[in-house]
Amino acid sequence: MEVYTDKTINILFKENKLELILKFFQNKIKLGEKINQSFFNRLLIGLEKNQDYETLLTSYSHASDNSCISIHEQTITIVIRTYLEINNLHDAFLTLTKLDESQIKKRTLILFFNYYYLNGKVDEIYEFYISNLKGKFVLNNEDYNKLLNVIFINNRKDLYFKLIGNIQGKKIIFEYPINTNFSINGCYLNQKNQCSNCNNKIKRINLSISERKILLSNLKNSYLTSDTDKELFKKFVKFVKNINNIKIVIDGGNILYFGDRKINFNSYHKLNLIIKKVLKKYDPKHVLLIIHNRHKTFIKKNFNSGVSQKIEDILKEWETKIKVYYTPFNMNDDWFIVYAGIIYHNSLIISNDLMKDHKFKIGQEIDFEDLFSKWVEISRIEFNFKNKKYNFNNTELSFPNSFSMRVQKNGDHYHIPSINGKWVCVHNI
């Protein structure tokens, strides 16, 4: 038997010489040798790309029957995808049983979900969603659109009203189908956020007290891992408890780095403009600026005496007008901003940071991931300087909507956000 090195095998894969790779694989099967999992998966993917499904399934069967491979989630996913491609649903489900429940990922289960969708199997896709996906995995907008579309196309109001109860509060932008007998009313919102079809007001969905507690608990458990961090953060928690009725939390660092992505005198000027803009609308005692300590400590080190004096004067003005908290070294100031924004009910944070990293950290549990997104959606004020002119008149603050772009029930109608600013309005009968 010809001996292939790893380098040779990689070259054969790149050149798509699957016949030679198959011979190498089959010889190892005959000898009862263990097969490298990565190699085997690459072989299956190559056969799948070539649509050689028969050889793929035969190769998997031989390797499995001869105990030459260990059961691996990626391998099982490829095999299931192949069975579904040839409409062999029975063997696809049989293959799924090879995995322990703890090994099953969304990417594997979504293959069955998509199969039912493509084949218009409305009862099957709904039951599969309820039994295998709901409350276990995070579904995205595309997933929910598939589920809603197949229900609407098949005019299944019974399933629609079952589903709508499960997805209330979720952020879904529904591209509803044209070819349906379902009673769909595309509608717009007027200036009072009322539906143009049913006249019900679309509401803002706030976080409950228990949901806020979940996020705060996740924040502490995810980030405050050392005793030092815990002690330093306790000082901030105490600070927060001693000041009441904060309505605006300003992400100082995000504004300082805006545009130039470096700290200079203009950075402090921009932050000063934002603060002045805020104080035109809010009482100073309701405003909290959170900024890292280095932006105060290193002023004299980073600037000449004239500039450093100007910056220090700006800082003193902030400290006398509004609440200011300097976050400690070796700690991410985002932790403090998020905590303050959540602990002060109905407060808003000024930041252009989408905080995607924190979404997955703080929202590490299935149901909680969307909680963080919902909080950011109703709490974040974006800022900008029109035409890159850094003066008061060109300083812009974009407040969050007074309503939530989420599935909701209003009166006796359900509303689902749709494309181009439209909503779908369906009467609850």
How far is residue 168's CA from residue 183's CA, in Å, rounded to a whole number? Answer: 19
pLDDT of residue 276: 98
How far is residue 384's CA from residue 390's CA, in Å, rounded to a whole number? Answer: 9
Q: For residue 427, what are the β-bridge partners?
A: 413
Write down the mean pLDDT value for the chain.
Answer: 91
pLDDT of residue 367: 64
At 66, list the tokens: 């001869």
335 falls in which pLDDT band (50, 70, 90)? very high
Residue written as token pair 């932006």:
295
Pair 111, 89: CB distance under 8 Å: no
Neighbours of 181 (CB within 10 A): 9
**Category of 314 on φ-ψ map: left (φ > 0), alpha (ψ -120 to 50) or beta:** alpha
Q: Is residue 50 over pLDDT 80?
A: yes
How far is residue 188's CA from residue 11's CA, in Å, rounded to a whole number? Answer: 58
How far is residue 160's CA from residue 165's CA, in Å, rounded to a whole number? Answer: 9
Q: Is residue 360 over pLDDT 90?
A: no
2 falls in which pLDDT band (50, 70, 90)? low
378 falls in which pLDDT band (50, 70, 90)? very high
Grouping H, G, I as helix, E, B as strand and the rest as coil, residue 139 is coil
How far is residue 72's CA from residue 379's CA, in Å, rounded to a whole number? Answer: 42
Tell me the torsion sign for CA atoms 349, 352, 357, 359: positive
pTM score above 0.85: no
pLDDT digits (tens, 9 = 90+) for 109-122: 999 999 999 999 99
Helix ranges (H only) for 280-428 are 294-297, 299-302, 305-321, 333-343, 356-362, 366-379
Q: Read off φ and ψ for residue 346, nearest 5 degrees.
A: 65, 15
How far is residue 116's CA from residue 159's CA, in Å, rounded to a whole number? Answer: 15
* Of residues 23, 108, 22, 36, the one with CA closest to residue 69: 36
At 267, list the tokens: 């950075």
pLDDT of residue 78: 98
- Rg of the chain, C-alpha, whole Å: 28
Q: Is residue 56 over pLDDT 80?
A: yes
pLDDT of residue 68: 85
pLDDT of residue 3: 60
pLDDT digits (tens, 9 = 90+) for 231-270: 999 999 999 999 989 999 999 999 999 988 889 999 999 9
Q: Is residue 83 over pLDDT 90?
A: yes
341 falls in which pLDDT band (50, 70, 90)? very high
Tell me the torsion sign for CA atoms 284, 285, 290, 291: positive
> Which residue type occupies 279?
L
pLDDT of residue 71: 81
Neighbours of 123 (CB within 10 A): 12
How far is residue 376's CA from residue 380's CA, in Å, rounded to a whole number? Answer: 6
Angle, CA of 335, 338 and 340, to the nearest 5°: 105
* Of residues 280, 307, 290, 256, the one with CA closest to residue 392: 280
Can you tell me the mean pLDDT for 382-389? Answer: 95
Q: What b/e sequence results for 125-138 when a residue is b if at least 16 CB atoms lie within 10 Å of its CB, and e otherwise?
A: bbebbeebbeeeee
How far is residue 427's CA from residue 184's CA, in Å, rounded to a whole number? Answer: 9
Which of 54-58, 119-123, 190-194, 354-358 is predicted least confidently?
Answer: 354-358
First to last CA, the chain: 72
Can you tell me the mean pLDDT for 193-203? Answer: 96
Residue written as token pair 């001693």:
242
DSSP state letter for 131: I
Pair 426, 413: CB distance under 8 Å: yes
181 falls in which pLDDT band (50, 70, 90)? low
Which structural domains are found in the chain, ordered by start?
A: 6-167 (1.25.40.10), 210-398 (3.40.50.11980)
Which of 8-12, 48-52, 230-234, 247-251 is predicted least confidently?
Answer: 8-12
Pair 427, 413: CB distance under 8 Å: yes
In 3-state terms the chain splits into helix, strand, coil percentages (rounded to 5) of 55, 10, 30
More confident residue, 273 or 16: 273
